[in-house]
Structure 1
Amino acid sequence: MNAFLQDFQTNWLVYASMPVIAALIGYVTKLVAIRMMFQPLEFVGIKPFFGWQGIVPRRAARMASIACDTMTDRLISAGEVLGRLDPERIVKEIEQPLLDGVEEIAAEIAMEYQPGLWESTPEAVRRRVIRHVQAEAPKIVRSLLETIKTDVDAVFDLKDMVVSNLVKDKALLNRIFRESGHKEFKFIARSGIFFGFAIGLVQMFAWAALKNPWIMPIFGGITGWFSDWLALKMIFRPKYPKKYLGLFEWQGLFLKRRQEVAADYGALIAKEIITPKNVIEAVLHGPLSDRLFALVAQEVQAAMDRQSGVARPLVVLAVGSGRYQQIKRSISQKVIERLPETMAFIEDYAGDAMDIRNTLVTKMQEMTEEEFEGLIRPAFEQDEWILIATGAVLGFAVGELQVILVETLAH
């Protein structure tokens, strides 16, 4: 015992440094592990094994799909997104650009199929033709929207829209995880200091008893591994508040903070992903857009037939049946080409009407602990071992450096 005390007194600086360095190991390994979750966005190194890509960006498609499944199964559906839009209000919002577009399209088609005739037609006649078509345009839009609302899934794939945007923008996917769990990641980093210091105290006595150079890297590895493992456990476990030793109560930090997380998550999804612009873009250019365009063409052509009325046989006779069908298809195509520009006018109204943020926040705050945990954790649960293993390897490496430092101080 006297030899122990003598060694402590002689090398007090060496022993005092051990828990401090262990705490530093715990903190640094956590920072590195967290960074490795998100950076770099693209693979850096020599594929397939010599290099690294952040866990979240590397698993972007799977993580986006899991997050979207949870979102669409439990929080919001395509029907809710588009079902809140009022066809009458949309017609009102796009009325002027729609009417302007109709006038331009009518002139283009007339000049394309009857060159010179449109310009030589009296102004009063041209205005009457345009007014007829303009009167029909809002009816087409109204009818089209009503048709879409009866079968939203036929023209709008919400999951494809969400996954496509997240896979395309890996930085945005990172933001969802980082901003929703920013306090949890801070907790992981800071916990490394306390866990590391505690393990360092044990390490100090083990070194005093054994003086074995393997003590440092082994304890460094244990510090990195155990502190990562425990910090991750403390974020999600226990699911419900539980008292320990009768002194303090603990609930998984992520679950305890679910009201705040819901607000952050809902706001980010509404601001960056399920936006009016993205929804309109998905409807007009997504995998189901052909069905929408078929509906538009059907409505436009039916409207043209109605406008022709009793004069239709004469029109067909004058331009030819094939020519008449070609004119109808041409008009339909020009209307479709103008849809993105026209629909941009409803973005402000659509944002208010869809109310995505409040819908997501309210429903998330009503979720059970099990459902809430399933919102984010499954996306990277399979890769948690990589973070823990990384902590262990880094801790071991720093432990080796610690041996050099201790031996230097001892001499």
Structure 2
Amino acid sequence: MPKTAYFAIFPLVGALVGWITNRIAIIMLFRPRKPITFLGLRIQGLIPRRRHQIAQRIAETVEKDLLTVEDLEQAMSGVHWEDEIRSTLTSILHTKGPGIFIGKIPGIAKAWEALILPQIIDILTPEISRLIGRYRDSFVRKLRGSVDIGQIVADRIERFEIQNLEKMVFALADREFRHIEWVGALTGAIIGAIQGLIVIIAG
């Protein structure tokens, strides 16, 4: 075989090996989903194998840095309850409650919409708002003592189907995974070219 052939063959073989290696590494993020034994080695995909640890770590991060009970308390305090109450009362009284029937009575419909309904809402809104304010603090105290955000997040992640997670990850990162494969091929080709050059020089 001509020595120059090594300079062509080695990069091709190196590129193929690099591409296959990275491809296998990507596949083994999720596969095999259940452990198998091959040549005495126990093999399982990284994410299925570390699922519990991943869930716990994500849950800890969410609870400490992203969504704390204090955050929920602040969110509740920041809600403009009166606007929400007015909107809800309007919907209930006008479109779902007595307004349905009153709106069909000639002469009363306009008075209901322009005068009666606004007055009812003006009376009920502050009363309901005060009730919410009175029980909100009690609710938040119970929330602090009974809600484990981290455990909720961990349980949700644990219940999430691995195959669904796999589909989602590959759908979102397909381009990046392909880049990784081609980087492996390029790296392998460069290493193969260097090896071929060494063989030519040494020969």
TM-score under structure 1 normalisation? 0.32
Query: RCO higher in 1 or 2 (8 Å CA, sep ≥ 6)?
Result: 2
Alignment of 1:20 onto 2:12: yes
Q: Structure 1 residue aligned with 2:67, among 76, 85, 89?
A: 76
Query: What secondary structure sits across from 2:147 in the alignment?
Result: coil
Work out whether residues 57 and 174 of structure 1, in 8 Å CA contact, stay in contact via their aligned partners in 2: no
Aligned mates of 1:91, 1:39 — CA distance in 2: 53
Q: Give the structure 2 partner of residue 383 of structure 1.
A: none
Q: Give the structure 2 partner of residue 45 of structure 1.
A: 36
Aligned mates of 2:85, 2:42 — CA distance in 1: 51
Amino acid in structure 2 at the alignment position of 1:204 = G
Count of residue correspondences: 159
Query: What secondary structure sits across from 2:36 in the alignment?
Result: strand
Alignment of 1:35 onto 2:4: no
Q: Give the structure 2 partner of residue 152 of structure 1.
A: 143
Amino acid in structure 1 at the alignment position of 2:65 = R
Deviations 1:179-204 (A, max 9, x none): 77666534322211211111001221
Q: Structure 2 residue aligned with 1:8, among 3, 6, 16?
A: 3
Q: Give the structure 2 partner of residue 162 of structure 1.
A: 153
Q: Give the structure 1 partner of residue 196 of structure 2.
A: 204
Query: What secondary structure sits across from 1:202 in the alignment?
Result: helix
| Structure 1 gap segments, 5+ residues each | 1-5, 97-137, 212-411
Deviations 1:315-343 (A, max 9, x none): xxxxxxxxxxxxxxxxxxxxxxxxxxxxx
Amino acid in structure 2 at the alignment position of 1:23 = A
Aligned mates of 1:8, 1:205 — CA distance in 2: 9
Query: What secondary structure sits across from 2:32 in the alignment?
Result: coil
Work out whether residues 57 and 170 of structure 1, in 8 Å CA contact, stay in contact via their aligned partners in 2: no
Q: CA deviation at 1:168?
A: 1.5
TM-score under structure 2 normalisation? 0.59
Q: CA deviation at 1:71?
A: 2.8
Distance verdict in 2 for CA 1:145–1:39, change over 3 Å = farther
Distance verdict in 2 for CA 1:181–1:66, change over 3 Å = farther
Query: What secondary structure sits across from 1:84 in the alignment?
Result: helix
Aligned mates of 1:63, 1:173 — CA distance in 2: 13
| Structure 2 gap segments, 5+ residues each | 93-127
Distance verdict in 2 for CA 1:201–1:163, change over 3 Å = same
Q: Give the structure 1 partner of residue 186 of structure 2.
A: 194
Q: Structure 1 residue aligned with 2:52, among 40, 46, 61?
A: 61
CA RMSD of aligned residues (A): 3.9
Aligned mates of 1:90, 1:52 — CA distance in 2: 57
Q: Give the structure 2 partner of residue 384 of structure 1.
A: none
Aligned mates of 2:86, 2:147 — CA distance in 1: 20
Identity of aligned residues (%): 19
Deviations 1:152-180 (A, max 9, x none): 32232111111111112142655776677
